[in-house]
Every structure is written in structure tokens, then in C-alpha cells.
Amino acid sequence: MSEPVAAIDCGTNTIKLLVATPEQALVRTAEVVRLGQGVDRTGHFDPAALVRTLGVVEEYAGLLARHGVRRVRFCATSATRDAADARDFTDGVRRLLGVEPEVLTGEQEATLSLAGAVGSLPDVTGPVLLVDVGGGSTELVAGDPDGTVRRSCSMDVGSVRLHERHAVGDPPTRAQLEAVGADVDAALAACPVPVGGAATLVGVSGTVTSLAAGVLGLGVEARRGLESVPGVHGARLDADAVVDLVEELLAMTVERRRALPWLHEARADLIGVGGLLLTRVLRHTGARTLVASDHDILDGMAQSLFEDVDR
């Protein structure tokens, strides 16, 4: 078997790890760390969030050692782009992993996400529109089934950012939801990516895969962890079914969401706002079907490491 590589993606809400060879994924896991907690309001990392996140990085370092990984790519996205004290985080990563963290631009994030998402989806008809719903930002990428990016946009709307900005209650009020929706609509209006006319709409992120598990009626196997859930990757979801599920979630308390058999409890507080964001995108695109991809930026990062070896 080929030597494994590792890709680590640290976003606003989760930190994800993929250990893979060109032939197979050996480890795919994630932890909710909320690195971006309070960043939208203060412009700085919360000390407790920084400790949580670096603690998981240290755990990942142990996993990499056990798998004999020597080539690692570590990328950070929205929260690290926004934090004035980002160096405190990147210095910690460098110390624990011995690699230089990359703070991706929105455009770089979009390119890697599209390559990772569509590479393993069968029978994808172009043009493709990718939506990646994150904690701090949401990326829209127009491209081709071969991963070629035609146009991309990173919008400063994400589940964590919007939840904090509008102090979303439990359950949220109608006024709070309208304020969140207005923010998303404004971001979409300013986004240069044309959202209509795509033959295939692909969604990535924990928000998308969690909602896919709900629409598909998956049971407790969907909430055992934050890693891949069998049956989600490549699922074609009816857009109306996604909207109906999100409306149900928005009417629930967080405690009620935690009892859902298909939802990991760490996502219970943000799934409503993340779902609302996704349904706003669906409305603007006019798409009737959403293809869920369990492969994302991690897969694009790993592929870049394989290509470096081939060159």
C-alpha cells in the first residue's frame, strides 16, 4: 500500500482529519471545537476555544504518528482569516505537528472544496454549483465535473457567525430568523457567482450531511460521531424535503433536537441556523435537487499531496 498522507481542515466550528492513500481513506474524523467562538464580535480568539482546538490538534498528532504519516497539509479557514491573534493558533499548530499551517483565502478554499467534492461523485452533469456551508463563511463555487473552477465567492455568513450575531434564541424567534435570512440574502445578492442555471447543485459540510441523514431517515448510526455516515455520500435530496425538515428544526428547542436519532448532539444548537442558510441558497438557485457529498476540502487537500509526489 502507498504511504499515507494527512489533511487537516480547521474551520470556525469543526476541525477535521483525513488520513488516506491514493487507494483508500484510512481515517476520516472530526471534532466540534468552536474555534471561531466570539470572533465575529471581538476579532480575537476566545482563550478557551484556542485551548480546545489545540488539544484536538495534539490528539491528531498522535493519530498521525500511529499511521506513520510524514506528509501533512494543515489548512485553516474563516475564523483564522478573521482573528487578529491568528498567530497564537498557527504557532501552536506548528509546535504540535511540525508543519506550517496555511490560512486559506476564500478562493483557495473554494477550489479545494470543489475538487474534493465532485471527484468521487458518479454521473455528475455540468455545470456544477457547489455550496459549502461553514461556521464562519459559506462558499459558492461554479465549475465543471472535472473540478475546474469557473467562478467562486466566499461570503461572511456561516452558522456560528449568524447564530452569535443575532443572538438566536432557543427556540429562535421569528424576528431573529428574519434577521438571519436578510443577512444571507444580502450576501447572496453581492456574490458574483451566478446561482441559476447549474445542472447539478452539490452541498458539502456537516450541515448538509446532517440534514441529508434527517431527510433519508437514517437512525442512530448517523449520530455515533462526526465522521462519514453510510448512505449520505452521493444522495440526491429533494429540495422541498430539505426545506420542510429545516422548518421543523427551527421550531424545536435544542434539547428536542438532541433527541433526534440522526443528529449528532454537538450540532444541535447550530443546525437550525445552518439549515436556514442552506435553504436560502436553495431558494435563490431554484434547484429541485441537492446532491450531498461527504467528500470535501479534505479530499482536495489530500489529492494535492498525492499530485506533489507524482510530479
Q: How confident is the model at residue 221 (pLDDT cuts 50, 70, 90)?
A: low
- Residue partners of 261: CB distance under 8 A and separation at least 6: 218, 219, 220, 222, 223
Q: Give the residues across from 17 on adjacent strands.
A: 8, 29
The residue-averaged pLDDT of 28-53 equals: 92
Per-residue confidence (pLDDT) for residue 220, from 0 to 100: 63
Say if residue 225's pLDDT is above 70: no
pLDDT tens per residue, range 3-21: 999 999 998 899 999 999 9
Please tell me the pTM assigned to this model.
Answer: 0.91
Query: Position 83: which residue type?
Result: A
Q: pLDDT: is 135 or 1 the higher one?
A: 135
Q: What is the CATH number of domain 121-292?
A: 3.30.420.150
Q: Cell 447550530 appears where?
A: 270
pLDDT for residue 48 is more than 90: yes
Q: Is the pLDDT of residue 223 over 70?
A: no
Angle at CA 215, nearest 5°, toward 211 and 219?
90
Q: 38 by DSSP, 3-state: which?
A: coil
Taking the domain 5-106, which CATH number applies?
3.30.420.40
- pLDDT of 101: 94
Q: Which residues of 91-128 are buried (b: 16+ CB within 10 A; e: fewer)?
A: ebbeebbeeebebbebebbbbbbbbbbbbebeebebeb
Domains 5-106 and 121-292 share a fold: yes
Q: For the chain, what are the domain ranges?
A: 5-106, 121-292
pLDDT at 120: 83
Give the separation between CA 145 and CA 309, rounded to whole angstroms.
Answer: 24
Distance CA(203)–CA(138), nearest Å, equals 11
